[in-house]
Structure 1
Amino acid sequence: MKKTGRILVVDDDTDVLNAARLYLKQHVEKVDVETNPKLIPALLKEYDYDTVLLDMNFTEDVSSGEEGFTWLEKILEIDPAMAVVLITAYGDVEKAVQAVKMGASDFVLKPWQNEKLLATVTSAMNLSQSKRDSQRLKTQNAVLKADMEQPYQNIIGESRAMEQVFQTIEKVAKTDANVLITGENGTGKELVARALHRRSNRSENVFISVDMGALPESLFESELFGHEKGAFTDAKESRAGRFEIANGGTLFLDEIGNIPLQLQPKLLSALQTHEIRRIGSNKTSKINIRLVCATNENLGEMVKNQDFRQDLLYRINTIEVKLPPLRERMEDIPLLIEHFLKKYRTKYKKEIHGITEQATDHLKEYHWPGNIRELEHAVERAVIMTDEDELQKGDFLLTSRPENNDQLPVAGLNLEEVEKTVIRKAMDKHEGNISHAADELGLTRASLYRRLEKYGL
């Protein structure tokens, strides 16, 4: 049977350390020993232990156990999931009870019986693993709960363009190949990522989504790789990153073009080595994820402009799935209208039986710069506002693009002034809603934030 587990034994008696190491190494993968308890914090930061066997008394002629209790507290402060077994030659029931109340997993007397020691250590290692699994599941469930609260619809379409997308999904889903989904904002890139996961061999495991466009640059590394308590000012507790949470499942990085250039080597390394390291830790953890990325950016142009690493692009782009804009699949509009109409008449409890042919033709003639997301918003608004039992052409207030430069409300053709004015109008129109304004402008949220800051809007 393969030996597993890593144990740290801390005692000022070298005979005790040698005895523990010689016996336990026959049954566990690694046994480290140390006489100086002051080195415990450094050892815990450097190595990933399952259990600590800790002497209660390090000062000669002292039998109170206070030193052991002090180091027990420090160990659990560093790693709340650690299983600590206290050992002493002066054991009694009161110390045992106090130690367990403080968080120790067990208590043994020395000289010990080897069989008893092994049983205690094995139980402690199992407890430690259970605690870590529980922490991971707690974090995972919190992420999944937030993720499930996001709106989700099935992929709708019968057009030739969408048939090609479906064919690619079916070919790629069962593999573990990294996939890059490209397309304009609002084309349904996350829906394709979810479809890939549902049809994959990882479908029973988690799907974790990260919107890289919505993250402040300062949080990218912590969000992806996690951090240890005290790693930076606001790190009040240790936290698993999305790579750890997604272990065994699929990790979806939306708007991958927003990842800072200085962080790209770390992402590349994680994908190459299948290992990650939390901020503030020297320990690496193995990860097993299927990576799916999405972007509305031209990553090839970003590589030419040295804003995106070419080797990272090769790594994430084993297979590319290109999503067509809505204007290239107009034959799908009736199906999409039917889907959204059913959704929102139920939500708003409206007796609406359909949409007029004139209204459908009107929607087919529109350019749809916001793609499917814009169409969904248009149908939702029409459902809310209509007083009829059928949606009418007049129920849809669509934003027409200017036909010529004379319609631009600016003097001259200074590009920055034009951009500033267009952004201001989009923000006014959507009452300051960044997501909706960004969709209409064809920008990511991060790109719009940068422009708002640039122009002082």
Structure 2
Amino acid sequence: MTMASEKLVYVVEDSISSGALYSSYLEQAGYQTRHFTDGHSALLGIKEQMPDVLLQDVCLPDISGLEVMRFAKERGDVPVIIITANSSIDIAVDAMRLGGFDFIEKPFSKDRLMTSVASACEQIQAEQTGRLKKNRSGSTTNKMKSVRDHFVGDSSTMNAVYNLLESAARSKASVFVTGESGTGKEVCAQSLHSASARASGPFIAINCAAIPTELFESEIFGHEKGAFSGAVSQRIGAAEQADGGTLFLDEICEMDLSLQAKLLRFLQTGSYQRVGGQKTLHSDIRIVCATNRDPAQDVAEGLFREDLYYRLNVIRVQLPPLRARGNDVITLANHFLREKNDSNDKHFLGFTNDAEAQIKAYPWPGNIRELQNVIENIVVIHDGDYIEGSMLESLNNVAQQLNNSPGTPPAPPLAQTMPTSINGVQNIKPLWQVEKEAIESAISQCGDNIPLAAACLGVSASTIYRKIKGWENSH
């Protein structure tokens, strides 16, 4: 790894005392520094000599810090770390979308500053190593991969996603992935990790909907032995496991509000404590989160903290549904066919024209996950050289049901339990019972395919599994 002493860091901070403090921290670690107290001086310094890292305050007395950042980016691919106060958080987010590497909020600790600068230098080192190996051998042999290596399909909608992900991978900015259930949000997170300088570090995935609320803090931050009943040994949490790598938080909108506050503090400071512990720990991670819900709507309804949402929603990636990806559906179908052939010792060569036409016409409410399940089901059950349209008859049945549905499953027969009667008001079912009947009806109509039922209801499959488990535990 390149020594810190070989790296030049420009500190652009109008406060003389703060700038001197940051420079002092950096110089103690072996970095070379230059401190500028206004934007125009910084522009002249950048024109004279490009720094390796730019530590940039967004609020300057003469020009915006974003102008300094743009000027530097036009002259070289320098990583820019944004310094911001709470009042300028929106500007910092804009800067990250313009290609900033990271942003840190005042007041911040020495550890937070040094971790960010070290990560930026690691990014430089990884890119230089990758270019060197490519020049010598004609191909890149280091652990960093292209985002496209993880995806199948070349539609215009996905090419736009690939380009955004390639840009995002080169920063430490948090990424918020949204899209319908089954569109490949975890694959998206893995691609960001593999295409970044963190590729050699760990990738830790947490499904926020699958963890009981009372265990969530322990799952993320770990716990000490004896911290609570059942804590028979120390546990290392996801934040500690992901140090130097990427933490993927799937179904982030399912996270309890109390833990959201602790996650926000961790993102701001990079520090945390295990449950039941006194020692303050530090972890350098990149956060990628995902949801199939509308996070802005959850913020409006008070279900998700607004400050955490803006901290996470620095780079927004919207994955398109499969029905919006054109011929990608056939490319994916062939890809899954080859996979399932290999795993089931089958020898299908492809699809007939009729089968392809049916695959294109079907709306795929369960998206890629549903397509994969359908192909696997056909390969397991049938034999032959080609998959024919008759083998896809189940798609026609489901499509008919979807087309005949106004958007929600029809009401099931009368409930087995009697309606509630309170203060003379009768014939009103409890909300949990209505929800249970709707979910059970959807599962039945979808042939016990829970991911498909979840897609039709507009929720995640993990939400349905959690509901079912709750009903079972209540009896």
Alignment of 1:69-108 (within 5 A): none
Q: Which position in structure 2 is the counterpart of 1:442?
A: 458
TM-score by length of 1: 0.62
Q: Structure 2: how far apart are the matches of 1:312 and 1:407?
A: 35
Deviation at 1:441, TM superposition (A): 3.5
Provide the identity percentage.
Answer: 41
1:316 aligns with 2:312: yes
Q: Which position in structure 1 is the counterpart of 2:159?
A: 163
SS in 2 for 1:395: helix
Cα deviations by residue, 1:237-267 (Å, 9 ceiling, x for unpaired): 0011000000011111111111001111100
Q: Is the 8 A contact 2:330 2:359 kept in 1?
A: no
Q: Which position in structure 1 is the counterpart of 2:366?
A: 370
1:351 aligns with 2:347: yes
1:238 aligns with 2:234: yes
Q: Which amino acid aligns with 1:403?
A: N
The unaligned stretches of length 5 or more in structure 1 are 1-152
Deviation at 1:435, TM superposition (A): 5.3
Deviation at 1:439, TM superposition (A): 4.6
Alpha-carbon distance change, 240 to 364 in structure 1, aligned in 2, over 3 angstroms: same
Quote the RMSD (CA, aligned, Å).
2.6
1:403 aligns with 2:404: yes
Q: Is the 8 A contact 1:410 1:418 kept in 2?
A: no
Q: Structure 2: how far apart are the matches of 1:407 and 1:315?
A: 37
Alpha-carbon distance change, 332 to 228 in structure 1, aligned in 2, over 3 angstroms: same
Q: Is the 8 A contact 2:243 2:283 kept in 1?
A: yes
Deviation at 1:296, TM superposition (A): 0.7
**Among residues 259, 264, 276, which one is paired with 2:260 in the alignment?**
264
Alignment of 1:42-121 (within 5 A): none
SS in 2 for 1:383: helix
Q: Is the 8 A contact 1:348 1:384 kept in 2?
A: yes
Alpha-carbon distance change, 210 to 195 in structure 1, aligned in 2, over 3 angstroms: same
Q: Is the 8 A contact 1:402 1:408 kept in 2?
A: no
Q: Which position in structure 2 is the counterpart of 1:254?
A: 250
Q: Structure 1: how far apart are the matches of 2:457 and 2:356?
A: 24
Deviation at 1:448, TM superposition (A): 2.1
Alpha-carbon distance change, 298 to 421 in structure 1, aligned in 2, over 3 angstroms: same
Q: Structure 2: how far apart are the matches of 1:194 and 1:276?
A: 25
Q: Which amino acid aligns with 2:441?
A: K
Cα deviations by residue, 1:214-250 (Å, 9 ceiling, x for unpaired): 1111111000000000001110100110000000111
Q: Is the 8 A contact 2:409 2:442 kept in 1?
A: no
Q: Structure 2: how far apart are the matches of 1:364 and 1:445?
A: 24
Q: Structure 2: how far apart are the matches of 1:242 and 1:190?
A: 16
Q: Structure 2: how far apart are the matches of 1:372 and 1:449?
A: 19
**Among residues 425, 433, 437, which one is paired with 2:441 in the alignment?**
425
Cα deviations by residue, 1:319-348 (Å, 9 ceiling, x for unpaired): 011100011113211100110000001110
Q: Which amino acid aligns with 2:410?
A: L
Q: Which position in structure 1 is the counterpart of 2:273?
A: 277
Deviation at 1:154, TM superposition (A): 3.1
Q: Which position in structure 1 is the counterpart of 2:201?
A: 205
Q: Which amino acid aligns with 1:408?
A: P
1:180 aligns with 2:176: yes
Alpha-carbon distance change, 240 to 432 in structure 1, aligned in 2, over 3 angstroms: farther
Name the larger-Rg structure: 1
Cα deviations by residue, 1:375-428 (Å, 9 ceiling, x for unpaired): 11011111112222100112122222151569935479x996875444113444
Q: Is the 8 A contact 2:346 2:383 kept in 1?
A: no
Alpha-carbon distance change, 379 to 163 in structure 1, aligned in 2, over 3 angstroms: same
Q: Structure 2: how far apart are the matches of 1:334 and 1:391?
A: 12
Cα deviations by residue, 1:169-204 (Å, 9 ceiling, x for unpaired): 111101111111110100001111111111101111
Q: Structure 1: how far apart are the matches of 2:227 and 2:457?
A: 38
Q: Structure 2: how far apart are the matches of 1:355 and 1:408?
A: 34
1:291 aligns with 2:287: yes
SS in 1 for 2:247: strand
Q: Is the 8 A contact 2:244 2:285 kept in 1?
A: yes
Q: Structure 2: how far apart are the matches of 1:434 and 1:408?
A: 17
Q: Structure 2: how far apart are the matches of 1:321 and 1:166?
A: 10
Q: Structure 1: how far apart are the matches of 2:434 and 2:231?
A: 42
Q: Which amino acid aligns with 1:239?
A: R
Q: Structure 2: how far apart are the matches of 1:422 and 1:250?
A: 37
SS in 2 for 1:320: strand
Cα deviations by residue, 1:61-117 (Å, 9 ceiling, x for unpaired): xxxxxxxxxxxxxxxxxxxxxxxxxxxxxxxxxxxxxxxxxxxxxxxxxxxxxxxxx
Q: Is the 8 A contact 2:409 2:441 kept in 1?
A: no
Q: Is the 8 A contact 2:208 2:255 kept in 1?
A: yes
The unaligned stretches of length 5 or more in structure 2 are 1-148, 415-427
Q: Structure 2: how far apart are the matches of 1:409 and 1:388?
A: 41
Deviation at 1:205, TM superposition (A): 0.9
Q: Is the 8 A contact 1:369 1:442 kept in 2?
A: no
Q: Is the 8 A contact 1:214 1:445 kept in 2?
A: no
Q: Which amino acid aligns with 2:255?
A: I
Q: Structure 2: how far apart are the matches of 1:438 and 1:243?
A: 30
Q: Structure 1: how far apart are the matches of 2:278 and 2:252?
A: 27
Q: Is the 8 A contact 1:359 1:393 kept in 2?
A: yes
TM-score by length of 2: 0.60
Q: Structure 1: how far apart are the matches of 2:471 and 2:298?
A: 21
Deviation at 1:431, TM superposition (A): 7.9
Alpha-carbon distance change, 404 to 295 in structure 1, aligned in 2, over 3 angstroms: closer
